[in-house]
Structure 1
Amino acid sequence: MTQSTTQTSSEENPEVPLSPGLYIVATPIGNLGDITMRSVDVLSRCDGVACEDTRVTGKLLKHLGIGKPLWRYNDHSEERDRARLVQTMLDRAVVLVSDAGTPLISDPGYRLVQDAREAGVPVTSLPGPCAAVVGLTLSGLPNDKFLFAGFLPSKEQARVRALEEVASVDATLVFYETGPRLAKSLQAIGTTLPGRTVSVARELTKMFEECRTDTPNSLIRHYTESPPKGEIVLMIGPPARHVASEVEVDTLLREALQSDKASQAAGKVAKATGLDRKTLYARAMALRSE
């Protein structure tokens, strides 16, 4: 069953309780002043709040002067926890928040929304802070098209594979990263996506907000001297927009085939041109058989 998502009439009248359903509320990523008036209103009139960490959300509600039941819902929650929340939404107004920013962005909350819609529960989403969007607007990188891909894998080979998969995407790439892993990710970007411009945004909306846009090597040097803390928005500029001709592509492939297998040659040329690796592999195989 598909449930339409419409704003409930009770949201228009602060004197009455909220209608039953699921309310997705974005919370500040640093500066508490970024909470919206509508979010405060919904939090103050809901029946309970599902959150990643009750301590984090408890501090926010205390700051807002709001007291509500808090129910833990995070990566480790079981299916029965989700079912219990959906059952509660049938006759009560439940708010879903993350520790910071917009829920469902790089977290598993979408399963709760799926189950709520299938159960016929009205779903309302309130716009608000999102670290990926804030970082992108600060970076100076092209933002007419961008791809948000969550966190890069923590293991080296998986990280490289993840970068290779999006190497040909003609858009700014946006990832989340942590301070301790930043240098390794920058190293992988420099090797896997050579020639790209990279931006690192951290401490967003806070006193020491910072956004640096440079080459991977320059950023590695800076953050080696000044190790970053906390969560980071890591952005990679799109590949060069120069479109290589067929003659140029064949020349690059022939040069690479002198020392590499067809798959390796295709990978190198894909990185250099931003062209599709599978197409280049097929062409490399054809050239090798000539």
Structure 2
Amino acid sequence: MPVQNFESVSLSILYIVATPIGNLEDVSTRAIQTLRSVDLIASEDTRITRKLLFHYDIKTRTISFNRVNAKQRIPTLLKHLESMNLALTSDAGTPGISDPGHELITAIDQTMTQVIPIPGPSALTAVLSAAPFPTDRFYFNGFAPRKEVEIDQMINIGRTLGVPIAMFESPRRIIALLTSLERKIPDTNIFIMREITKKFEDSFYGTPAAAKNYFLEPRGEFSIVVAPISESPSTLDHDAIERLVHSLEDSGLKPREIAKSISSITRMSNSEAYKMIIELKPEARDED
């Protein structure tokens, strides 16, 4: 069967266009041509997109599409797609990665509209490519979680899989994240890139404590990769396990189900995990 050339189909097209993450020269020729040819560009922030359009003398109209207005904007964009070709862009990098782009893609009737990616810059692949340890397999968490129990869960996923953990963080929250990582995995190295491709691009490799000292005045956007965690999962501290128990309990699991989940994460036996739960909550014995 011949491969279908989607661009020759007479259906409308939504192009997922990757744009620069800092350096405007990183945009591809194909991305420029696509942004010129479409009828409308749905942008996470039209002000940022217009800087790129002005730089390359692109006159295409823009419309905002972001986390704040996504639900209200999707019907409008779907209506436009009945008779137009659209491009979707994020503020930086590839749409659909840690932004609301996936909500529009999910809502599209793909029998009426073809979705075509225009590959290009990505902060995620950039930081992974420069990390000083193997990143052929990794776990991507999106933006770093804020709650301690969610950070525990993220760490445990990476630990269980035996892979690096990649995430993004803002300058306002980077110190809080590093402080949490310092408590939980103090001896595990992390690789951080700040302001990737921009004038003041910077990188760091070392422990969370050393990272806190290095980024005393955090500015710019941070891309982080935690190296594979080498210590035994069974060395999770008591507080981390207790938070994990409460989290699983809140999800409606019974004590023996919680024990099984903890066992799969920490490599403790089911009986050891169950004993720890009973020590934390003696009344749990009556809940099975």
Match for 1:238 among 228, 233, 240?
228
Quick one: distance in 1 between partners of 2:119 and 2:152? Answer: 33
Distance in structure 2 (CA, Å) of the matches to 1:112 and 1:190: 38
Separation in 1 of the partners of 2:271 and 2:240?
Answer: 9
Matches within 5 A, 1:119-268: 120-156=112-148, 158-224=150-216, 227-240=217-230, 263-264=241-242
AA aligned opposite 1:44 = R
In the alignment, what sits opposite 1:64?
56
Distance 1:231 1:285, change over 3 A: closer
Q: Runs of 4+ in structure 1 displaced over 2 angstroms? A: 4-7, 117-120, 153-169, 260-264, 275-279, 285-289
Task: Give the superposition deviation at 1:120.
Answer: 2.4
**Matches of 1:112 and 1:38, distance apart in 2:** 22
Q: Deviations over 1:201-251 (max 9, x none)?
A: 011112221111101111111112xx12121101101122x889xxxx7xx
Q: CA deviation at 1:8?
A: 0.3
Q: Quote how far apart the aligned CAs of 1:186 are.
A: 1.1
Deviation of the 1:263 alpha carbon: 4.8
Q: Distance in 1 between matches of 2:11 and 2:111?
A: 16
Q: TM-score, normalised by structure 1?
A: 0.78
- Is residue 178–residue 212 contact of structure 2 (8 Å, CA) maintained in 1? yes
C-alpha root-mean-square deviation of aligned residues, in Å? 3.1
Superposition deviation, residue 110 in structure 1: 0.8
Aligned residue pairs, count = 258
1:14 aligned partner: none
* Residue identity in the other structure for 2:226: I
Is structure 2 residue 95 aligned with structure 1 residue 107? no
**Structure 1's 194 and 277: CA in aligned 2 closer, same or farther, altered over 3 A?**
farther
Deviation at 1:33? 0.6
C-alpha change, 1:243 and 1:198, in structure 2 (3 Å) is closer
The two structures have a TM-score, normalised by structure 2, of: 0.79
Query: Which stretch shifts more, 118-127 or 31-40?
Result: 118-127
| Percent of pairs with identical residues | 29
CA distance 1:179–1:21, change in 2 (3 Å): same
Deviation at 1:100, TM superposition (A): 0.6
Q: Write out per-residue CA displacement over residues 269-290 of structure 1, whole angstroms, 9 at most, x where no aligned residue.
A: xxxxxx843652614147789x
Q: Deviations over 1:72-125 (max 9, x none)?
A: 110012434202211211221100000110000011211111111456211100
| Whole-angstrom CA distance in 2 between matches of 1:77 and 1:136 | 31
- SS of equivalent residue, structure 2 residue 268: helix
User: 5+ unaligned residues in a row in structure 1: which ranges?
Assistant: 11-17, 268-274
Q: CA separation of 1:110/1:95 partners in 2, compared to 1, >3 Å: closer, same or farther?
A: same
How far, CA to CA, are the matches of 1:68 and 1:74 in structure 2? 19
Partner of 1:272: none
Aligned pair partner of 2:47 in 55, 71, 95? 55
- Following superposition, the deviation at residue 6 of structure 1 comes to 5.4
Per-residue CA deviation, residues 28-50 of structure 1 (Å, 9 max, x unaligned), is: 00111100000000011110100
Distance 1:31-1:73 versus aligned 2 partners, 3 A rule = same
Structure 2: runs of 5 or more not aligned: 246-262, 279-288
Q: Helix, strand or coil for the counterpart of 1:168?
A: helix
